[in-house]
């Protein structure tokens, strides 16, 4: 039933080492206690801010170790399950070739029950030029196309519109660029033998991950989430929908009023509502569809902004801790997932501490810099080792750098949520130019301002302190923060057409009889080839 | 029926590349040969140009003095000291055969350092490609810290060699589990136990590591480890009993302060940069946040921590950390030279880290490491602020100006060994507090200082006060002389070593014809 998976799926194979997880939490607690109580306090405001950031880190570390402590182990499964399925392929202006590959792959899926494939065409309401082409594609393939004429609710609205027009017991959702494997349905649908199973989520695999820095980094970030984190959440009954490559029970979704249209991250919030009503979920850690990562910095930025804003709205408008229908494990898991996006504020505060010292001489704590090193360095190294080990070495420096450099994006999203400012929902564009990298430097102006501020601060600090140990330590910290922003800035900066060099070939995946042809998968999976 | 979710799907594994195995950095067999030749030439050149001719230091003078005695008396002296005997037994034999001078004694250490080169290379090969291991060897050969102790008539380069042999055997144990590997490991463990007490921390780190990974080792590994421990204990027992019978060195232990976080970081700073001035060293270690950047950069897709590398991590940090903790909990004995077994592992880890960052970056970083190492050695050799330099030769030359009516007072008392090694003047030489060199060094008593000092200077014209190795009363001695007598000269031949000249008496005119 399951094809052998190659090493490119090794992110699914993490085996948590609990000794390291316990050690990580212990080191984090000790570091927190030492910072708070063992050292002489400096500037009270800075000290308070430092402690607040360390509390945030501690909660995130404890939450992470708790989440990845163990994977989901076993669920009821009926291999002969044959409930009727509507396959929804959401389309909003993607190239017709991309949509065609996905639709053909969906039609080729094997399943003992009834399957209807539908194109959910939002091209018309989104003002996309190719919406008629999508309808023609549906005609040519003999599948239904639901073209909305009344806008609203973005992708959630599109799905809800199709829910009203269809009647299958179950719904499977694919983004237009996520090509399902032939065995998707037979591998997934059997979980619905549990009558309270509300939805099944599978990984969101990026087949174009080797195209450029942005796709590589976006994928590296996904590996951590779809590797240990989602498996752990599934164990705790808190696996949530991720918008694509998922199967839903119609009655469950309808019970909560369809996909939530009020939130920019409709999948996250709808999951919360389903869990609140007692529906179960499972995450199946097996790549059963292959899609496209955002392939330039703008698309990546928009995607991250959307996720951030949606998650923060959940905290401020639907605080999971206050949702009485959720178990405590679910409450904390939702809060941990959403609060990750508050880290922007924490990161910029940490980054500003050396700048403040260089400008004013004020520090949050007063201690020998080497004593601080003795406490901090082992804690930091162990933390990173746990991250690396729990992701089965699929995480990367650029993934960390992108996460840590997204502070402005996260602050902007936080501001938008707190002020209720509207932001346009933008479906990630999959267009790939055949030239160089476009210029997106305007998106990283805050990072460049930080670098400039750091240089000025260094001058001020050097004039005041000379080459003191404190100056050296803070200069080193400043260098660390600047270095972290380098991959982010590089990805945003323009370059000439190096991308004309073909991407390294993906490892071959065994093709079963009846599976979509390799050409179809390849065309669907690699944006740059779509345009040739 | 249920679906199992936590068993990974069957995989077709691509064999992972060896760490740091870039094609461009894995050249032919001539490269290791050339690297060894370069390393030998480097070690010999540094030795001849910069190190082997330096002034004898206190510990060296003590070793020379101890090995001047018969083997039986030598064992007695070592047992009364805080060391184990193997190095001194070898040194005595070496000196009997080749000559008694300090240069000959230092040559023995140089031999150990040279012998360490190929062993370091084979240890490096467990984590690095041929090319990168060769590069690491060249770095090792230019290491200021290792060159310093490779040219000192003490046991540290022997400790380095036996540690590397032990690590080689231990890695073979982890890799193969064969009886030959275990035999080599046990033999090196027994030898190491007789080279330096700190070697037990090396064994401790290895034992802990083996226990941590024992589930993935062949059956019986833990039993064999226990057998090795028993063999070491049995082999060490005679010396331990003899040591106890000689008083457990209770009166000869040096007075060392409890180590601070600065001392801890200085160990690693000295491993890489050597012995630099306080100002430069402080600047270097203050840049420690860059380690955070290093840790972040080391998070690489597909980069897994292999077992040999994990062991090197343990070998680089666990012995030093253990010594640090024990120094706080039991008795302070934290000196960077004792930590020399951790130095090769640290250097290897730095090279391993560099080689994970892509071919071009790796070459640049290893090149920078080599440049820093060479520069560190050069500065260490030439800087007057070298904190471990003890220039008793210059001190003795300065004191050589003293005449028969003057007196040379050496404090702390035990520094008389290196001073006397060079001093050949007519003045009487004594120590303060006064010491007969037979009994344990006398304790300092501030109340009796005036009386003792008066007795020393009585009837003399000038006092040449040689101050070094402060044992907590150096300032009392200095203040006493500075407050009573006219200082006519002051010299500082090396950091912490002072020669102060005081006029303490005025010659009466000699009657004509008298």
Interface of A with B in 218-247 (CB under 8 A): 220, 231, 234
Q: How far is A527 from chain B (nearest CA, A)?
A: 23
| Residue B23: pLDDT over 80 | no
Chain A residues touching B299 at Cβ < 8 A: 384, 387-388, 395-397, 399-400
Nearest alpha carbon to residue A105 among A114, A115, A92, A94: A115
Chain B residues touching A385 at Cβ < 8 A: 305
| Residue A501: pLDDT over 60 | no
Lowest-confidence range among A58-62, A469-473, A525-529?
Answer: A525-529
Interface of A with B in 484-523 (CB under 8 A): 484, 507
The tens digit of pLDDT for each residue in A417-451 reads 999 877 654 434 444 445 567 888 999 999 999 99
| Residue A303: pLDDT over 60 | yes
The token pair at A318 is 């639907």
The pLDDT, as a whole number, for residue A519 is 31
Output B28 or B355, whichever has higher pLDDT. B355
Chain B residues touching A213 at Cβ < 8 A: none
The pLDDT, as a whole number, for residue A368 is 84
Q: How many Å separate Cα A366 from the centre of its chain?
A: 38
| Residue B198: pLDDT over 50 | yes
The token pair at A282 is 């499972």
The tens digit of pLDDT for each residue in B378-426 reads 999 999 889 999 999 999 999 999 999 999 999 989 899 999 999 999 9
Interface of B with A in 284-323 (CB under 8 A): 285-293, 295-305
B437 pLDDT band (50/70/90 cuts)? confident
Tell me the CB-side half-sphere exposure of residue B302, using CA atoms within 13 A. 15
| Residue A284: pLDDT over 50 | yes
Q: Answer whether B494's CB lies under 8 Å from B386's CB.
A: yes
**Chain pair A-B, CB pairs under 8 angstroms:** 158
The pLDDT, as a whole number, for residue A125 is 93
CA distance B373 to B375: 5
Chain B residues touching A215 at Cβ < 8 A: none
DSSP B258: P
Q: Answer whether B296's CB lies under 8 Å from A400's CB.
A: yes
Q: How far is B285 from chain A (nearest CA, A)?
A: 8
- % of residues, chain B, pLDDT over 90: 77
Give the mean pLDDT of B183-210. 97
Q: Which of A6, A191, A380 sits opposite B292 (nearest CB)?
A: A380
The tens digit of pLDDT for each residue in A153-192 reads 889 999 999 999 999 999 999 999 999 999 999 999 999 9
Chain B residues touching A16 at Cβ < 8 A: none
Q: Which of B1, B293, B297 sits opposite A77 (nearest CB)?
A: B1
B204 pLDDT band (50/70/90 cuts)? very high
Give the mean pLDDT of B261-265. 92
CA distance B160 to B114: 11
The tens digit of pLDDT for each residue in A63-106 reads 999 999 988 888 999 999 999 999 999 999 999 999 999 999 99
The pLDDT, as a whole number, for residue A264 is 82
CA distance A453 to B149: 46
Q: Is A96 on the interface with B (CB under 8 A)?
A: no
CA distance A261 to A272: 14
Q: How far is B117 from chain A (nearest CA, A)?
A: 30
A495 pLDDT band (50/70/90 cuts)? confident
pTM greater than 0.80: yes
Task: Identify the residue among A186, A480, A488, A509 best suited for mutation to test binding to B, counting B beta carbons within 10 A and taking the highest.
Answer: A480
Q: Looking at this predicted complex, what is its ipTM?
A: 0.85
CA distance A242 to A240: 6
Q: Answer whether A315's CB lies under 8 Å from A332's CB.
A: no
The tens digit of pLDDT for each residue in A305-358 reads 989 999 999 999 999 999 999 999 999 999 999 999 999 999 999 999 999 999
Cα–Cα distances in angstroms (integers) from residue B289 to residues A38, A370, A444, A474, in the given order: 20, 10, 24, 8
Give the mean pLDDT of B168-197. 97
The tens digit of pLDDT for each residue in A115-132 reads 999 999 999 999 999 999
CA angle B298, B344, B361 (to 5 degrees): 35
The tens digit of pLDDT for each residue in B330-375 reads 888 899 999 999 999 999 999 999 998 888 999 999 999 999 999 9
The token pair at B411 is 């404090």
Give the mean pLDDT of A368-391. 90
Q: Which residue ranges make up each domain of chain B?
A: 30-382, 392-503
Q: How far is A514 from chain B (nearest CA, A)?
A: 22
A71:B4 CB<8 A: no
Nearest alpha carbon to residue A4 among A172, A183, A247: A183
Q: Is B507 on the interface with A (CB under 8 A)?
A: no
CA distance B146 to B139: 11
DSSP B55: P
A373:B261 CB<8 A: yes
Q: Which of A76, A370, A388 sits opposite B261 (nearest CB)?
A: A370
| Residue A2: pLDDT over 60 | no
A529 pLDDT band (50/70/90 cuts)? very low
Provide the mean pLDDT of chain B.
90
Task: Identify the residue among B4, B7, B9 best suited for mutation to test binding to A, counting A beta carbons within 10 A and taking the highest.
Answer: B9
B80 pLDDT band (50/70/90 cuts)? confident
- % of residues, chain A, pLDDT over 90: 74
Q: Tell me the sheet residues that pair with A86.
A: A116, A171
The tens digit of pLDDT for each residue in B448-499 reads 999 999 998 888 999 999 999 988 899 999 999 999 999 999 999 999 999 9
Nearest alpha carbon to residue B120 among B351, B280, B332: B351
């Amino acid at each position: 039933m399951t094809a052998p998976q190659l090493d490119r799926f090794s992110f699914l194979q993490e085996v948590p080492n609990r000794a390291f997880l316990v050690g990580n939490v212990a080191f984090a607690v000790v570091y927190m206690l030492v910072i708070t109580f063992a050292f002489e306090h400096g500037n009270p405001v800075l000290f308070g801010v430092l402690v607040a950031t360390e509390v945030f880190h501690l909660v995130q570390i404890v939450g992470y170790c708790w989440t990845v402590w163990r994977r989901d182990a076993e669920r009821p499964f009926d291999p002969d399950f044959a409930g009727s399925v509507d396959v929804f392929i959401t389309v909003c202006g993607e190239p017709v070739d991309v949509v065609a590959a996905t639709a053909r792959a969906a039609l080729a899926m094997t399943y003992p029950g009834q399957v209807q494939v539908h194109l959910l065409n939002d091209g018309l309401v989104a003002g996309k030029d190719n919406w008629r082409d999508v309808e023609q594609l549906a005609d040519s393939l003999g599948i239904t196309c639901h073209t909305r004429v009344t806008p609203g609710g973005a992708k959630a609205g599109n799905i809800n519109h199709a829910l009203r027009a269809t009647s299958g017991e179950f719904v499977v959702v694919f983004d237009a660029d996520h090509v399902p494997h032939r065995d998707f349905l037979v591998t997934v649908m059997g979980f619905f033998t549990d009558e309270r199973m509300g939805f099944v989520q599978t990984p969101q695999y990026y087949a174009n991950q080797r195209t450029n820095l942005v796709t590589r980094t976006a994928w590296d970030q996904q590996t951590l989430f779809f590797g240990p984190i989602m498996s752990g959440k599934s164990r705790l009954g808190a696996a949530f929908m991720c918008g694509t490559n998922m199967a839903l029970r119609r009655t469950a979704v309808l019970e909560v009023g369809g996909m939530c249209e009020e939130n920019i991250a409709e999948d996250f919030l709808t999951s919360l509502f389903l869990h609140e009503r007692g529906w179960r979920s499972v995450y199946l850690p097996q790549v059963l569809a292959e899609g496209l990562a955002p392939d330039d910095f703008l698309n990546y930025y928009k995607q991250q902004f959307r996720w951030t804003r949606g998650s923060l709205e959940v905290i401020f408008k639907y605080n999971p801790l206050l949702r009485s229908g959720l178990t405590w494990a679910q409450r904390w898991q939702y809060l941990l997932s959403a609060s990750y996006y508050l880290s922007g504020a924490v990161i910029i505060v940490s980054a500003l501490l050396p700048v403040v010292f260089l400008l004013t001489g004020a520090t949050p704590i007063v201690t020998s810099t080497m004593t601080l090193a003795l406490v901090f360095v082992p804690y930091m190294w162990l933390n990173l080792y746990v991250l690396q080990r729990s992701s089965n070495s699929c995480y990367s420096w650029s993934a960390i750098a992108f996460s840590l450099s997204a502070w402005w994006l996260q602050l902007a999203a936080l501001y938008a949520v707190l002020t209720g400012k509207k932001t346009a929902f933008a479906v990630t564009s999959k267009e790939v130019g055949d030239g160089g990298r476009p210029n997106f430097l305007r998106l990283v102006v805050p990072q460049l301002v930080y670098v400039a501020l750091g240089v000025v601060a260094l001058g001020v600090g050097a004039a005041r302190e000379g080459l003191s140990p404190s100056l050296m330590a803070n200069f080193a910290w400043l260098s660390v923060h600047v270095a972290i922003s380098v991959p982010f800035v590089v990805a945003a900066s323009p370059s000439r057409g190096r991308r004309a060099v073909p991407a390294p070939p993906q490892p071959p995946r065994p093709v079963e009889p009846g599976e979509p042809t390799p050409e179809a998968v390849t065309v669907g999976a690699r944006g740059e080839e779509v345009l040739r | 029926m249920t679906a199992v979710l936590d068993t990974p799907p069957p995989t077709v594994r691509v064999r992972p590349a060896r760490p740091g195995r870039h094609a461009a950095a894995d050249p032919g067999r001539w490269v290791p040969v050339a690297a060894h030749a370069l390393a030998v030439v480097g070690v010999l050149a540094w030795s001849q140009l910069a190190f082997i001719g330096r002034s004898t230091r206190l510990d060296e003078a003590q070793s020379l003095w101890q090995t001047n005695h018969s083997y039986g008396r030598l064992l007695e002296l070592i047992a009364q000291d805080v060391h184990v005997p193997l190095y001194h037994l070898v040194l005595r034999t070496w000196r009997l055969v080749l000559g008694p001078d300090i240069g000959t004694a230092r040559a023995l250490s140089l031999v150990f350092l040279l012998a360490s080169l190929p062993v370091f290379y084979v240890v490096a090969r467990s984590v690095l490609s041929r090319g990168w291991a060769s590069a690491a060897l060249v770095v090792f050969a230019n290491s200021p810290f290792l060159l310093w102790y490779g040219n000192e008539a003490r046991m540290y380069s022997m400790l380095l060699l036996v540690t590397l042999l032990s690590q080689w055997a231990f890695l073979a144990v982890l890799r193969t589990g064969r009886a030959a590997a275990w035999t080599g490991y046990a033999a090196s463990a027994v030898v190491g136990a007789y080279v330096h007490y700190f070697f037990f921390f090396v064994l401790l780190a290895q034992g802990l590591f083996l226990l941590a990974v024992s589930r993935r080792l062949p059956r019986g590994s833990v039993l064999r480890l226990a057998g090795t421990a028993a063999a070491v204990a049995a082999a060490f027992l005679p010396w331990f009993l003899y040591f106890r019978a000689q008083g457990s060195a209770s009166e000869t232990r040096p007075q060392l302060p409890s180590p601070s976080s600065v001392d801890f970081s200085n160990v690693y700073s000295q491993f890489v940069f050597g012995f630099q001035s306080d100002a430069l060293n402080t600047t270097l270690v203050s840049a420690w946040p860059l380690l955070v950047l290093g840790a972040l950069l080391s998070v690489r897709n597909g980069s897994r921590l292999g077992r040999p590398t994990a062991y090197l991590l343990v070998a680089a940090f666990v012995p030093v950390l253990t010594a640090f903790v024990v120094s706080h909990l039991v008795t302070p004995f934290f000196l960077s030279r004792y930590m020399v077994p951790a130095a090769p592992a640290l250097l290897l880890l730095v090279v391993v880290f560099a080689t994970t960052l892509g071919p071009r970056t790796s070459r640049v970083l290893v090149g920078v490491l080599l440049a820093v190492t060479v520069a560190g050695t050069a500065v260490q050799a030439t800087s007057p602020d070298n904190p471990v330099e003890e220039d008793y030769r210059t001190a003795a030359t300065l004191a050589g100006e003293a005449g028969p009516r003057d007196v040379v007072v050496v404090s702390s008392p035990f520094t008389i060994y290196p001073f006397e090694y060079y001093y050949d003047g007519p003045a009487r030489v004594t120590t303060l507090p006064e010491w007969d060199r037979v009994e344990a060094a006398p304790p300092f008593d501030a109340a009796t200082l005036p009386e003792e000092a008066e007795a020393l200077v009585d009837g003399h014209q000038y006092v040449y006060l040689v101050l070094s190795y402060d044992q907590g009363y150096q300032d009392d001695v200095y203040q006493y002389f500075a407050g009573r007598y006219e200082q006519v000269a002051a010299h500082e031949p090396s950091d912490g070593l002072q020669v102060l000249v005081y006029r303490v008496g005025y010659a009466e005119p000699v009657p004509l014809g008298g």
